[in-house]
Structure 1
Amino acid sequence: MANLRITLVKSLIGRPETERKTARAMGLKKLHRQVVCPDTPVTRGQVQKLAHLVRVESIE
């Protein structure tokens, strides 16, 4: 199963509370921090919600 490397590239300041909570739930706290998550429908949904704030790379 593939994994996703997710990097927070834009600030959460001024973003809606739901976006901040989603980023926090994914483990993204500070700019340019990376997390590796499994490529599941749940993770894809979270990434879609934060698409304008994160960069996503697929890793094997």
Structure 2
Amino acid sequence: MSANKQVKVTLVKSTAGRLAAHKACVRGLGLRRMNHSALVVDTPENRGMMNKVSYLLKIEEV
């Protein structure tokens, strides 16, 4: 993992009715609504959030 490597994450399932911690992870990744995508730096912290809510996301290496 290099410091400037980025990953594209897309929210493909709704956060309605999810745990508050999972909603916070989605917001922390910069995602606001369904089918919204964001580029995030591939850090251990961001990877942890992506792993926690992986069932809501589509993750692509850039």
- TM-score, normalized by the shorter chain, greater than 0.5: yes
Q: Size of the alignment, in residue pairs?
A: 59
- Which of 45, 50, 61 is equivalent to 1:58? 61
Secondary structure of 1:52 counterpart: helix
CA RMSD, aligned part only? 0.8
Distance 2:16 2:52 in 1: 16
Moved runs in structure 1, 4+ residues, more than 4 A?
A: none
1:3 equivalent to 2:6? Answer yes
- Structure 1, unpaired ranges of 5+: none
Matched residue type, 1:58: E
State TM-score, norm by structure 2.
Answer: 0.90
Measure how far apart 1:28 and its partner are: 0.8
Secondary structure of 2:48 counterpart: helix
Q: Once the two structures are superposed, what CA deviation does each residue of 1:10-57 show, in whole Å capped at 9, x if it has no partner? A: 000010010011111111110000000111111110100011000000
Aligned-pair identity in percent equals 31
1:26 equivalent to 2:42? Answer no
Secondary structure of 1:10 counterpart: coil
Secondary structure of 1:36 counterpart: strand
- Structure 2, unpaired ranges of 5+: none
